[in-house]
Amino acid sequence: MYGNDYGPDDAATRTETRDRLPRRDEPLNAADAAALEGYFDELIDADQRIEPRDAMPEAYRQTLIRMMAQHAHSEIIGMQPEGNWITRAPSLRRKAILMAKVQDEAGHGLYLYSAAETLGVTREELLDRLHTGRQKYSSIFNYPTLTWADVGAIGWLVDGAAIMNQVPLCRCSYGPYARAMVRVCKEESFHQRQGFEILWTLARGTEAQQEMAQDAVNRWWWPSLMMFGPPDTGEAATKGHTAQSMAWGIKRFSNDDLRQKFVDMTVPQAERIGLTLPDPDLRWNPERGHYDFGAVDWAEFKRVLSGDGPCNAARIEHRVRAHEEGAWVREAANAYVAKQADRAVVGAA
Ligand code: BYC
């Protein structure tokens, strides 16, 4: 878990190799570059963790920055659709739970921005990339939350998909990302349970409540399947990042495998709740030992990614406004740190 610094066997040799190599931010000569490649590959082959001070191939660093930043952005943008229902939660208990969940998402964003900063990029730069559309966030958060049941559907389906995708990231080859994911996943499990429980309750309520629950599931099911990313196996595979990211131990499964696992996990849960998943092609395939399911509308996914989803503009507009209105908090925090540093100098003199 704690990377090659703490490995038991030949960790001494590895540390020696590392100590001979320049740190990540020092220039590399040709001999160092060759040694680095061997050393990095050796760590990856041994399923060891890469740590922030390790020299690493630039493409590996950039891939992680892209993925971790997109993940962090998704967490903080993901607060918006659910935050929309805090003032209208149907009871004090539901309100308290939802507030705790939305705060958890903010916390996940903070762990992930901090973890991404260990790769030598600033949080300011990452937020700027989000605000100017140079970096993505998850497609799922461009859909609206029209009723209270949507909060249940997000918890059950969106957080359920998130767990399926993120549990393997606890074994990601980059140490800080892997460690951040351990806590994130624990919290996501609670989120999924609360969503399940909201829908379970609605499905046992009045006819109108049952219809509201079914309508929410109808709208969130397909976008949840899109969360795993475009097809990356078989004939439908698009040219993406999966093969390289799996070779580097960043991703542990293909998008398609995780999507299938998610469908297999969710169908029995839907049966227990008593809701129907909106896919006429969904059926158990005993030969494959998996559920078959219908075709995802990848044209819709592309449209949403290109900015043409129902809420893209509103999400970014809201985020930029919140960032601008929070400028005084960042200034005050910086002033406080500067003051503390001055006091420390005076105290030491
Ligand atoms: N939405 O080659 P691929 C949460 C992009 S947070 C938007 O498969 P990769 C939660 C992809 O970036 C959920 N874009 O890429 C929060 C790439 O474009 P670029 C977020 C997507 O990176 C609050 C292109 O499509 N979770 O659950 O190997 C409340 C080709 O894709 C999406 C994470 O970020 C998408 N759905 O795999 C509740 C987890 N899918 O960058 C819940 C960490 C693909 O080349 N990230 N794209 O322009 C990952 O696991 C991977 O980055 C992905 C994509 C599986 C998402």
- Report whether pLDDT(11) > 80: no
Which amino acid is located at 281 in the chain? D
The mean pLDDT of the chain is 92
Determine the average pLDDT of the residues in 121-146: 97
Amino acid 17: pLDDT: 63
Helix (H) or strand (E) holding 284: strand 283-285
How does DSSP classify residue 8? S
User: Residue holding tokens 């609670």?
Assistant: 190
Could you tell which of 136, 251, 319 is best to mutate to test the pocket of ligand 1, judged by most ligand atoms within 8 Å of the CB?
136
The rounded Å distance from CA 116 to ligand 1 centre is 15
Model confidence pLDDT, tens digit, residues 39-64 = 899 999 999 999 998 889 999 999 99
CA–CA separation, 290 and 99 (whole Å)? 36
Whole-number pLDDT of residue 20: 64
- Distance (angstroms) between ligand 1 centre and the Cα of 166 equals 11
If you compute the radius of gyration of the chain from its CA atoms, what whole number of angstroms results? 22
CA of 12 to the centre of ligand 1 (A): 37
Burial 266-292 (b: 16+ CB within 10 A, else e): bbebbeebebebebeebeeeeeeeebe
pLDDT, average across residues 136-153: 98
**Two structure tokens written together for 197:** 């429980």
Q: How many A from CA of 227 to the centre of ligand 1? A: 7
Q: Is the CB of 173 under 6 A from ligand 1?
A: no
pLDDT at residue 22 is higher than 90 = no
The Cα 162–Cα 71 span in angstroms is: 10
List the structure tokens of 176: 């800080």
Reported as a single tens digit per residue, the pLDDT across 59-110 is: 999 999 999 999 999 999 999 999 999 999 999 999 999 999 999 999 999 9
> Alpha-carbon distance 344 to 32, whole Å?
40
Contact 1, 183 (CB under 8 A): no
3-class SS of residue 50: strand
Q: For residues 300 and 310, is the Cβ–Cβ distance under 8 A?
A: no
What is the per-residue pLDDT across 168-211, written as a single tens digit (0 to 9) for each? 999 999 999 999 999 999 999 999 999 999 999 999 999 999 99
Q: Establish whether residue 227 lines the binding site of ligand 1, counting it when its CB lies within 6 angstroms of any ligand atom.
A: yes
Q: How far is the CA of 222 from the centre of ligand 1 (A)?
A: 15
Ligand 1 contact via 192 beta carbon (within 6 Å) = no
Instruction: Please work out whether the CB of residue 105 comes within 6 Å of at least one atom of ligand 1.
Output: yes
List the alpha helices (DSSP H) in the chain: 11-20, 30-45, 58-77, 79-83, 92-117, 123-131, 148-153, 159-166, 175-203, 207-226, 242-247, 255-273, 298-303, 312-325, 327-348
Ligand 1 contact via 259 beta carbon (within 6 Å)? no
Least confident piece of the model among 2-16, 87-101, 223-237, 330-344: 2-16
- pLDDT score at 58: 93
Please work out whether the CB of residue 74 comes within 6 Å of at least one atom of ligand 1: yes
Q: What is the pLDDT of residues 315-348, one digit of tens each?
A: 999 999 999 999 999 999 999 999 999 998 877 7
Is residue 182 lining ligand 1, measured as CB closer than 6 Å? no
Burial 220-255 (b: 16+ CB within 10 A, else e): bbbbbbbbbbbbbeeeeeeeebbeebeebbbbbbbb
